[in-house]
Structure 1
Amino acid sequence: MCFGVASVLQARGARAAEPGSGSGVDTRLLARALAQREYLAGLGLDGIGFGLELVALLTLPIYAVGAALAASLAVTAVAATRLLGATLQRVEWAAVGAVCGGLALLGLAAGGEGGGHGSSALQWGTLAAAGAVLLVGAAGGRLPGRARAAVLGLGAGLGFGVVEVAVRLIDGVTGPALYALLLGGGAAFLLLTSALSQGSVTTATAGMVIGETVGPALVGVLALGDGTRAGWAPAAVAGFALAVVGALVLARFGEGGATTASPATSGR
């Protein structure tokens, strides 16, 4: 819920800021966005949401948390009908229902947090993935139009995915997993701010949903021991698919739910 409401506020702040260099890794654009009250309010909600996300990651499988994060788009869509005068079509109400139904299935099927703590190689690999997010941003920022938004959105999603995995790997006050969390989260915000300021936010949001759900879910299942209740694996797969597909259908509400010629807005 926090991320869903924050998305609209962050995009408004990012677009109200003076345009930056156009690079996907544009720290000056982020600094100008931080001068906008709406962007700061969105960050405040993101901070609360992140705290709740940490608690969830310490008690639930990564795939369940990732699907719930993707479901923030359903919150954005419904809130947009009240706050922005948007109108949901039947297919979008169906998508909201799919997201809710998918999360309900996941809630019933999900087991506890996996018992695996990850190898040293996985920790260093997570840090390398965080560094790669910056490279994706540097390359994506040079692309035109929708390709730029898609690559930056996917890169932001990968950065947020790194955070999800790194939380499970941290075993002290220092180490590669902690550095991966900080670098991945910071890089993701840079890329997302740049994606929201220019280009198709719908495309960026869809890329972000894919990046922050699929990869981390696979790492959790294959490397960290995440599982389901006995006999509930098919329900978990169906729930994950429903939630993510529903979120992708609602990706246009990364644009603040605009259904007419109203300005597009969005965010994490």
Structure 2
Amino acid sequence: MFCALGSAVCFGTASVLQAVAARASAPGTGSGVDPLLLWRVLRQWRYLAGLALDALGFALELVALRNLPIYAVGAALAGSLAVTAVVASRVLRVRLRGVEWAAVGVVCGGLALLGLASGAEGGLTGGPALRFGVLAVAAAVLLLGAAAGRLPGRARAAALGLGAGTGFGVVEVAVRLLDDFSPGALLTNPASYALLLGGGAAFLLLTSALQRGSVTAATAGMVLGETLGPAVAGVVWLGDRTREGLEPLALLGFGVAVVGALGLARFGEAPEGDVGRVG
């Protein structure tokens, strides 16, 4: 759980830096996914610093996913929005209202309940159907991003965010499906390709959403996509369970953490006029 929370701190801080970089880059095409956007933002130091934090966060996430149920890690990652809110209030001079400070407290309280109730990760590793299934979902994330370009503004943002969250969720499940890390086993395991495709697609869709105006809906969609689906997959197919008799507490903690994160969804973006405030 310490690694999961550390990962949330890294991701939450990185999102502020990446949002500023994405909003400062030149506008691209009008489609939901601009393949050249990543090339433009990679020339900005703030985005590169965010990527470095993402890399550290991903390493911590890997450790957490090998020791905790997916639902616990997913809720902790959704809690990264609480970190984003606090960092944005300091770096971008974004003013947090009382209700938003309360939402930060709600996220922390939900994660504390979840930490008390979480058991060890499930012992199942999934069959071939699940491995090919997550690869198919990863490919569908790219198709969802392409289709988002035909939607109006807010619906497009929600679709991009949901696609990004689903891609991150694919990564969470795929990590658990890697039971042999030898080169030969990795090359023949569909989950390896799902991890790469899902993670890359998620970054592309999220960066596109961050550049295209208000992404409150996108961030909310991302939280749902990266928590609910992976949690179900962990319980149904991978054997994730809670501590004996603490299922209600785990459900309460998961729900409270996700609802609190949704209340902080607006902090997934950098507000207009704040781009130049990060020196």
What are the ranges of 5 or more consecutive residues in structure 2 without an aligned counterpart? 1-8, 180-184
CA distance in structure 1 between the aligned counterparts of 2:128 and 2:192, rounded to whole angstroms: 13
8 Å CA contact 1:159–1:212 kept in 2: the answer is yes
CA distance in structure 2 between the aligned counterparts of 1:60 and 1:69, rounded to whole angstroms: 13
Instruction: Report SS of the residue matched to 2:47.
Output: helix
Match status 1:203 vs 2:211? no
Q: CA deviation at 1:255?
A: 2.5
Q: Say which is worse superposed, 99-108 or 192-201, in terms of deviation.
A: 192-201
Alignment match, 2:5: none
TM-score by length of 2: 0.91
CA distance in structure 2 between the aligned counterparts of 1:103 and 1:140, rounded to whole angstroms: 32
CA distance in structure 2 between the aligned counterparts of 1:17 and 1:250, rounded to whole angstroms: 25
8 Å CA contact 2:24–2:275 kept in 1: the answer is no
Match status 1:104 vs 2:115? no
Alignment match, 2:234: 220
What are the ranges of 5 or more consecutive residues in structure 1 without an aligned counterpart? none
Alignment match, 1:173: 186
Runs of 4+ in 1 over 6 A off after TM superposition: none
8 Å CA contact 2:23–2:275 kept in 1: the answer is no
Instruction: Report SS of the residue matched to 1:173.
Output: helix
1:143-186 Cα deviation digits (max 9, x unpaired): 12111100000000000000000000013322100000000000
1:230 is matched by which residue type in structure 2?
E
2:223 is matched by which residue type in structure 1?
V
Within the candidate set 237, 251, 260, 2:251 is matched to 237
Alignment match, 2:127: 119
8 Å CA contact 1:148–1:199 kept in 2: the answer is no
| RMSD across aligned positions (CA) | 1.4
Alignment match, 2:199: 185
Equivalences, count: 262
Q: Say which is worse superposed, 196-205 or 59-68, in terms of deviation.
A: 196-205
Alignment match, 2:87: 79
1:87-121 Cα deviation digits (max 9, x unpaired): 22121111111100000011100000101100110
Within the candidate set 126, 146, 149, 1:141 is matched to 149
Alignment match, 1:250: 264
Instruction: Report SS of the residue matched to 2:202.
Output: helix
8 Å CA contact 2:141–2:201 kept in 1: the answer is yes
8 Å CA contact 2:79–2:257 kept in 1: the answer is yes
1:4-51 Cα deviation digits (max 9, x unpaired): 110111011111211111223322111111111111111111110011
CA distance in structure 2 between the aligned counterparts of 1:65 and 1:21, rounded to whole angstroms: 35
TM-score by length of 1: 0.94
Alignment match, 2:34: 26
Q: Say which is worse superposed, 158-167 or 141-150, in terms of deviation.
A: 141-150
Q: CA deviation at 1:264?
A: 7.5
1:183-235 Cα deviation digits (max 9, x unpaired): 00001111111111113211111110010000000000011000000011000
CA distance in structure 1 between the aligned counterparts of 2:123 and 2:71, rounded to whole angstroms: 15
1:173 is matched by which residue type in structure 2?
L
